[in-house]
Chain A
Amino acid sequence: MLEKALVGGRKYWIWMISLLVIMGVGFIMWLWQLSEGLGITGMSRDVSWGVYIANFTFLVGVAAAAVMVVTPYYIHHYKVFGRITILAEFLGVAAVTMCLLFILADLGNPVRALNVILHPTPNSILFWDMIVLNGYLFLNIFIGWNVLTAERKGMAPPKWIKPFIYLSIPWAISIHTVTAFLYAGLPGRHFWLTAIMAARFLASAFAAGPALLIIFCLIVRKTTRFDPGEKPIRTLAGIVTYAMCLNVFFFLLEVFTGFYSNIPGHMHTIQYLFAGLHGHNALVPWMWTATFFAAASLIMLLVPATRRKDDTLVVACIFVFIATWIDKGVGLVLGGFVPNPLHHITEYTATVPEILITLAIWATGFFIMSALYKVAITVKEDQQQA
C-alpha cells in the first residue's frame, strides 16, 4: 500500500523534495552538533532546555488530534468522523515521530539513548514518557494501517482491532499527562509546579491538534479529489472552540493563584513573560503576540458567522496554532527556567543551527504525514470511484 506514496503529480514531488532538502540541511547541522556538542545551540547552564524540548512538548499535544476524532467515532458512533479518522491517526504518527526526533536532537549523548531501556528506571517520568510515546506511535501506525487496508478492500476493519482502538483513547490522554508530569513534579520550579499542568496540556492539545487537522482537511479538499466533508469540519471547529476557551481559562487560573496569593515565586515567571523582570524582557513580545492571537482566535471561533465560514475558520485555526505554540513552547518551557534557582536571570535565544535542526524535524514530520496522507487519500479516492 505504501507504494501509493510514490505516485504523484509534479506539485507533490516538488513539495516532497523541498522537504527533503530542508531535512538534509538540518541533518548536516545535527552532525555538526554531534561533533561540537550542544554548545552550538542557545541553551545554557541556566536555560538548559530550549527550542527542541519546546517543540517536543507542543507536538505531544498535536498528537492529540487523533483522540478527539477517534473517541466520537468509535465510542459514540459519530459516523461523520469516519471519513477523517485516518487523517487524525496519521497526523498523530507524524507528530509523535517529531517528538521522538526532538528528544534525540536534545540529548547530549544520543548514542547512549538506549540506556533508558537498558537501565529502566520507573521512578523517572522520562522513562514513562519514552514508553507512552513509543506505544502511541505503534498504536496509531498499527490501527491506521489495518483500518485503511480493510477500507481498500472494501471491507469492515477486523474485529480484533477494536481493543487496540479503545486502548488508544486513554493512551492518547496518557501521553499528554505524562509529558506534563515531566514539568509538574519538579520542586523549585514554581511556574511548572502546578497541579493543573496536565489539564492545561490537554486543553491546549485539544485546541491545537484539531485546529491543525481542520487546516489539513481543507488543504486535502482543495488539492485532491477526496472531500473530508462539511460536517466533520464543523464538529472539529466546535471542539477547537471549547478547548481553546478551557485553555485560556486554565491559564487565567494560574494568573489568579500567583497574583492574589502574592507569593513572589508564583509571580516571577509570569512577570518575566509578560512584563519583563529586572530589565530582562526577551520573551515579552512573544507572549503578547500569543495573547493577541489567542484573543483574536477566540473571538473568531465564538462568533458563529466566522466559525462557520471556511475562510475565516482557517484563519482562526492558524491563530490558535500560533498562540498555543508560543504559550506551550516558548512561554512554558523557556519561562520555567527564569529566574533560575538562585534567582539570577539568563535569557535564551535560539541559534541558527538550532533553528535549522528544528525546521528539519518539522520537515520530517510533514514528509511522513504527506506520504501517509497520500496513501490514505489515494485509497479513499479509489473507493469513491468504485
Chain B
Amino acid sequence: MGVDRRKFLKLAGITALGTAAAPAAKVLAKEDLDFTVSEKLLHFFAKPEGFLPGEALTATRWAMVVNVRSLDHEIAEACREACHKVHNVPHIENPKHEIKWIWEEEYHNALPNQEHEFVDEKIKDLPFLVLCNHCYEPPCVRVCPTRATFKRETDGIVIMDMHRCIGCRFCMAACPFGARSFNWVDPRKYLPEDEQNMEYPTRMPGVVEKCNFCAERLAEGQIPRCVEVAQELSKEKGREPALVFGDLDDPDSEVRNLLRSRYSLRRKPALGTNPNVYYIV
C-alpha cells in the first residue's frame, strides 16, 4: 500500500498542476487507487474531488511571507489554534512532548544572530510566527533513510508519509529550524473524538510530523488555514495581511510583489537550505 500511496501523492501533485495529465490521473485515481487506498488514507492528502482540474490551487514553488508588523499575539495565537485544530495536532502540556506545526517565537529566537542590544523594543515584542520553511534544499529530506519525508517535485512542498516513517528522528537533528515534532506519546489520547477533524487523519505514536503547507487544502482549492485566519483578522483590524501565500515562480504573484517592494529576511540563510518562508519586519 505504501507504494500506491506514494504514487497517489505524486499523482495528486501532478494533477494539481492542472496539466494534460490530469484526466489520466483522474482515471487512475478512480479506477486504480480507490480500491487500494482506504477512504481514510485518501483523506490524508485529498478527497477524490480534489482531482477535478482547475479546482485545486497550483504552483511550482509555494512560499509564504510573514509580515510580522501586522501580527499581534491574538492573530498569531489564532493561526496556531486554527492550524492545530484542522490538522488534529494535540495539545500536550508537557513541553518535552509537545507537537507544534506553527507557533510564536521572539525575534531573537526566530532570527538568531540578527539581534543586537539596540533593536527597537517593539520588534523584540512582535510575535514571530515560525513553521516549516519548506526549504528548497531541505536537509531533513537529505537525511531521511526511507524517503518518508520528501520534497514534492511539482510544487516544492516538503511533505511527510506518516505510514513510512520509522521514527529515527534523524530529520529532527537535521532541521536547523526546530520545525519538526515527534509523537513521543499517543497523540490520540489528547484528542477527544468529538474535537477531531474527521477530514484529516490522526497520527500514531513514534512518527515525526510538521507543517505541510496545507497540501490537503490546496488540493481542494483552499489556501492554508493559518493564512486564511491571519488574513481575516488582519482585515478586521485594518492592517495589511499578516500572512501571504503564493507562487514564487509567478512574477506577478502577491508574494513576489511583496518581496520586490519590501525588504525581507529568511531564517538562517547562511546554511544554504534556501527557505521558502520570508519575513518582513
Contact = CB atoms under 8 A, between A and B. Distances in A.
A182 B204 CA distance: 26
A39 B184 contact: yes
Interface in A106-157: 106-110, 112-113, 115-116, 118-119, 121, 123-127, 130
Contacts of A195: none
Contacts of B145: 115-116, 121, 124, 126-127, 130
Interface stretch (A1-9, A42-50, A311-319): A42-50
Interface string B171-214: 01111111001111110000000000000000011111000000
B43 interface: no
B271 interface: yes
Contact of B96 (A108, A185, A186, A346): A346
A286 to B, nearest CB: 20
Interface stretch (B57-65, B161-169, B241-249, B256-264): B161-169
Contacts of B207: 108-109
A340 interface: yes
Interface string A77-106: 000000000000000000000000001001
Interface in B78-104: 95-98, 100
Interface string A324-358: 00000000000011001111101000000000000
Contacts of A336: 173
B175 A188 contact: yes
Given A127-B145, A187-B139, A189-B173, A109 B184 contact: no
B146 interface: yes
A346 B185 contact: no
Contact of B168 (A106, A187, A344): A106
Given A38-B184, A342-B105, A125 B173 contact: no
Interface string A288-332: 000000000000000000000000000000000000000000000
Given A188-B268, A343-B108, A344-B109, A124 B181 contact: no
Nearest to A344: B109
Nearest to A103: B168
Interface string B210-228: 0000000000000000000
B166 A186 contact: no
A264 B115 CA distance: 13
B98 A37 contact: no
Interface string A31-74: 00000111101011110110000000000000000000000000
B194 to A, nearest CB: 24
A45 B206 contact: no
Contacts of B147: 119, 121
Chain A contact-residue range equals 35 or more
A116 B146 contact: yes
B178 A342 contact: yes
A108 B168 contact: yes
Contact of B143 (A45, A125, A337): A125
B280 interface: no
B144 interface: yes
Given A108-B167, A121-B146, A346-B95, A341 B176 contact: yes
Contacts of B105: 342
Contacts of B186: 36-37
B168 A188 contact: no
Interface string A259-272: 00000110000000
B265 interface: no
B109 to A, nearest CB: 4
A115 B148 contact: yes
Given A342-B109, A343-B109, A346-B96, A45 B166 contact: no
A186 B205 contact: no
Contacts of B22: none
A127 to B, nearest CB: 5
Contacts of B166: 107-110, 112-113, 115-116
B185 A36 contact: yes
B226 to A, nearest CB: 19
Contact of A343 (B112, B130, B142, B183): B112
Contact of A108 (B98, B146, B169): B169
Nearest to B97: A39
B272 interface: yes
Nearest to A182: B170
Nearest to B174: A186
Contact of B177 (A106, A185, A341): A341
A206 B148 CA distance: 36
A186 B140 CA distance: 9
Given A186-B143, A187-B272, A45 B170 contact: no
Interface string B140-158: 0011111110000000000
Given A126-B170, A342-B105, A108 B183 contact: yes
Contacts of A38: 167, 182, 184, 205-206
B178 A186 contact: no
19 contacts: A37-B183, A41-B184, A44-B184, A45-B96, A45-B100, A45-B172, A45-B182, A46-B178, A48-B169, A49-B169, A108-B169, A112-B164, A119-B146, A124-B142, A124-B146, A186-B143, A186-B173, A341-B177, A342-B178
Given A36-B186, A187-B272, A336-B173, 14 more contacts: A36-B185, A38-B182, A38-B205, A45-B95, A45-B97, A45-B184, A108-B183, A109-B165, A121-B144, A126-B168, A187-B268, A188-B176, A337-B173, A342-B110
